[in-house]
Amino acid sequence: MTRELAAFVANLKYDDIPHGTIDMSKRLLLDGIGCMLAGIDGGPARSVAEMIRGLGGERQATILPGNTQGTARDAAFVNGISLYSVGLNDVHSPSGAHPGACVIPTVLAVGEWRRLPGKELLTAMIAGYEVNGRVGRAIIPTHRERGFHPTGTCGTFGAASAASRLLELDAEMTANAFGIAGSQAAGLYECHHDGTSTMIFHAGRAAQNGVEAALLVRSGMTGPATVLEGSKGFLRATSNAYDPEAAMKDLGERYEIDGTSFRPYFGCSSTIAASGATATILRRTTVNPDDIAQIVVRCHPIVANDNADNDPHTLLAARLSLPFNVALVLTHGDVLAADLQAQELTNPGIRALLPRIKLVSDPSMLRRACHLELRFKDGRRETEAIDVPRGSARNPLTWGDVVAKFKPLVRGSIAGEDQIRVIDAVANIEAMDGAAFMRVMATALESKSRTPEIRRVAAAAAALQQ
């Protein structure tokens, strides 16, 4: 499995990739950049960027929080944390990972440093999503059940794939990079219990480790070329049941990036259906939260177990809480991260709703589906079931949808005309190299000049992530 995936990464050609897959990569790239820019003024990104600045290092790539320069490895690290801190980036449900937070910062950092053509950036991005997704398919669900966070673990292999591709490693060297990445791949879900920011760290570290693994191989270090399937390898070490053959099915015939989902709402992938169901009910009828007696949400057992917190005290805990996200939509309507501020944690209206929201475990439900019922005090009931949430791989966001999500996300970071320039740069990335592409964003950050409105929104974004 290791060598076969390495050969795929090394031999993938832009011209062989279907047009629809290229289009999907651009939508996900714009979505990821939107999240990255939205996170630059938040607490996690600012603190990590400050730490990196204190270490110094060669000026190779743009670190967006602070709009400065650092090594490609450090840029991938900080930008990955910025991207993942917002809670609106993509998710690959079959692997349980958020590949964009690990792969996109890697592609942008190495691509800028090496001044590589835009076509190579997209090819490396697709290769990274491919390996991330297939490694995850081999070990889900027991990998997650044992406490591993796939974004940190599988994301390391995805980032190593993208970096290896951009550093022009051949198949043998890429397999060695995977071998090194396997000893770096880490991330534990214990952070789910208290909402601490370790989960955000996982994505940045995966990106950083992926770059480092490829650079180490280029400098002569080796790693086991059976790191995935070996008797002491990643699959056996991190799961109770694994299926490499199923994970490798149709390699080169279908692309994992096409099976990646967008997040149109604040929250996590397990809460999107409930947020969407609540929003759908609000669009067809007027709901006064004071009139609600109870809200019953039938959902998959994993969701009922992992996302049931009805008393979150941090914004990360709130993101993972299905009751909080339902209450948030009932209070404010359709919600993006830009609409959420720290004071919502103590919002009396939201707090009053939380005890009335009950999750019911239903093994017959699809993993990301939900059936939501509002029960009113006068006996009325409103129900909505969602099996395929908006933004999912089977119901993806269009380019127009992603643009509509992008603009409010970045309004605290860059001005309106610069938003258009970034959007156009992504749409036409094949005509640019990595350095020119990143200059568009760096210039946008330089020219924003912090108008009063931008300062206000940026302050709200920073408070959101404290």
294 and 235 part of one domain: no
CA–CA separation, 399 and 349 (whole Å) = 35
242 and 143 part of one domain: yes
CA–CA separation, 103 and 87 (whole Å) = 16
- CB-based burial label for 277 (10 Å; 0-12, 13-18, 19+): buried
User: What contacts 392, CB < 8 A, 6 or more positions away?
Assistant: 93, 261, 262, 272, 368
Q: Which pLDDT value is given to residue 340?
A: 67
Per-residue pLDDT of 105-143, as tens digits, reads 999 999 999 999 999 999 999 999 999 999 999 999 999
Number of domains in the chain: 2
306 and 365 part of one domain: yes
Alpha helices by DSSP H, 56-141: 72-84, 100-114, 118-139
217 and 325 part of one domain: no
Q: How many Cβ atoms are within 10 Å of 415's Cβ, its own excluded?
A: 18
How far is the CA of 425 from the CAs of 45, 234, 258, 355, 401, in angstroms? 24, 38, 22, 46, 17
184 and 85 part of one domain: yes
The reply to whether 420 falls in a domain is no
Query: Which pLDDT band holds residue 233 (cuts at 50, 70, 90)?
Result: very high
159 and 225 part of one domain: yes
The reply to whether 117 falls in a domain is yes
CATH of the domain at 50: 1.10.4100.10
Chain CA centroid to CA 300, Å: 21
217 and 277 part of one domain: no
pLDDT surpassing 60 at residue 456: no
The lowest-confidence range among 65-74, 176-185, 250-259, 267-276 is 267-276
- The answer to whether the CB of 393 falls within 8 A of the CB of 366 is no
Residue 297's beta-bridge partner residues?
Answer: 359, 372
pLDDT surpassing 90 at residue 267: no
Provide the residue range defining the domain that includes 301: 272-386
Query: Which pLDDT band holds residue 265 (cuts at 50, 70, 90)?
Result: confident
Per-residue pLDDT of 150-168, as tens digits, reads 999 999 999 999 999 999 9
pLDDT surpassing 80 at residue 195: no
